[in-house]
Amino acid sequence: MGLSRTTFYDQARSAADETSIVEAIAAICDEAIYWYRNEPIADYGHPTAAELVADGQVEAVLAFIRDLENGARG
């Protein structure tokens, strides 16, 4: 009755895969939040991204992130 054994194991593996993905995303988000709040950006005189945004310099932070995406070292 019910599911075949392979279906059960496929679902269990799928749930484990989903958990791993969610954990990886959470770690990335935690790192991004830490960076945003705590890491000084030398290119702009060493304020954090949060400080720059609070100072109205959103475009500067976005430009810095684009530079990182394009291979700059930060």
**Letter string b/e over residues 47-63, b meaning 16 or more CB atoms within 10 A of that residue's CB:** bbbebbeeeebeebbee
Angle in degrees, CA 28, 31, 37, rounded to 5: 140
Structure-model confidence comparison of residues 9 and 19, the more confident one? 19
Mean pLDDT computed over 11-39 = 90
Contact 52, 60 (CB under 8 A): yes
Is 90 exceeded by the pLDDT of residue 42?
Answer: yes
The mean pLDDT value of the chain amounts to 87
